[in-house]
Amino acid sequence: MKLFIDTADIAQIREAWSWGIIDGVTTNPTHIANSGKDFDSVLEEIFSIVDGPISVESVSTNAEGIIEEGRRIAAFHKNAVVKVPVMIEGLKAVKVLAKEGIKTNVTLCFSPLQAFLAAKCGATYISPFIHRLDLVGHDGGELIRQMRQIYDNYGFQTQILAASIRSPKQVLDSLLAGADVATMPFDMLRALYQHPLTEDGLQMFLDDWKRVPPSRLFTSKAGA
Ligand code: G3P
């Protein structure tokens, strides 16, 4: 499963990219607004850091406008993916953009039927919003399982991009349900590394090492 970072915070993107686990970035209008920077310069910075698919959201609500924005986003950089809301006008635009070879990420997906329609129109990615579903008493993991089954039943190539992830359990659910990609905030990526037994175990090894006589092998090594 690929991992994307879901933010437009440049410092966080730079740091997560340095860890070697990031395959791409997803943004949305909220992330761009929260970055405190103008749209063009924040995009330039993100594309200069990450060499992988980067989703940029269209903001028009009619197909004509979305298509025009989509073409501009695609022309901006070879790694650009056009994010489009799952609605009639959005999917009309996705169909046209797909025929032009422009990659799309259909967003705000909350049902397997929406995912089916997006795939029919040639979406590259479909983004089910897992945590927002869990918050209203539904089961985001079950949505991914149903989408996986529908796509596998009919051979759809659209990639399932689990989005709106706020807990490690939702990442595990995404992996087990067969999502192709999961996107999440910086803090969630960092949380995936953590386990209290790892921290306790490391501390014990470091404490015990103090009882070992000085070694020639480790003397004057970098980072000692
Ligand atoms: O990719 C989904 C993300 O942009 C929005 O999700 O629920 O974390 O705001 P959320």
What is the per-residue DSSP string for 79-136? Answer: TEEEEEESSHHHHHHHHHHHHTT--EEEEEE-SHHHHHHHHHTT-SEEEEBHHHHHHT
Question: Can you read off the two tokens belonging to residue 130?
Answer: 């897992």
Which residues carry out catalysis?
83
Q: Does residue 213 lie within any of the structural domains?
A: no
Q: Does residue 43 lie within any of the structural domains?
A: yes
Can you give the residue range of the structural domain that contains 33? 2-194
Evaluate: CB of 58 within 6 angstroms of ligand 1: no
Q: How far apart are CA 97 and CA 95, in angstroms?
A: 6
Q: How far apart are CA 224 and CA 212, in angstroms?
A: 15
Evaluate: CB of 26 within 6 angstroms of ligand 1: yes
- How many angstroms does the Cα of residue 61 sit away from the middle of ligand 1? 19
Q: How far apart are CA 160 and CA 199, in angstroms?
A: 33
- Which atom from ligand 1 is nearest to the alpha carbon of 27? 4
Amino acid at the residue 167 = S
pLDDT at 223: 57
Judge contact between 146 and 126, C-beta under 8 A. no
Judge contact between 107 and 130, C-beta under 8 A. no
Phi, psi of 190 (to 5 degrees): -65, -35
Q: Does residue 220 lie within any of the structural domains?
A: no
Q: Does residue 104 lie within any of the structural domains?
A: yes
Q: Does residue 16 lie within any of the structural domains?
A: yes
Judge contact between 74 and 102, C-beta under 8 A. yes
Q: Does residue 65 lie within any of the structural domains?
A: yes
- How many angstroms does the Cα of residue 159 sit away from the middle of ligand 1? 17
Return the beta strands (E) in the chain as ranges: 2-6, 24-26, 54-57, 80-85, 104-109, 125-128, 159-162, 181-184
Q: What is the pLDDT of residues 106-161, one digit of tens each?
A: 999 999 999 999 999 999 999 999 999 999 999 999 999 999 999 999 999 999 99
Considering its fold, how many domains does the chain have in total?
1
CATH number at residue 79: 3.20.20.70
Which residues are paired to 82 by β-bridges?
A: 56, 104
Which residues are paired to 3 by β-bridges?
A: 182
Q: Does residue 57 lie within any of the structural domains?
A: yes
pLDDT at 219: 81
Q: How far apart are CA 91 and CA 63, in angstroms?
A: 8
Evaluate: CB of 82 within 6 angstroms of ligand 1: no
Residues (pLDDT < 70) of the chain are 220-224
Q: Does residue 6 lie within any of the structural domains?
A: yes
pLDDT at 169: 96
Amino acid at the residue 223 = G
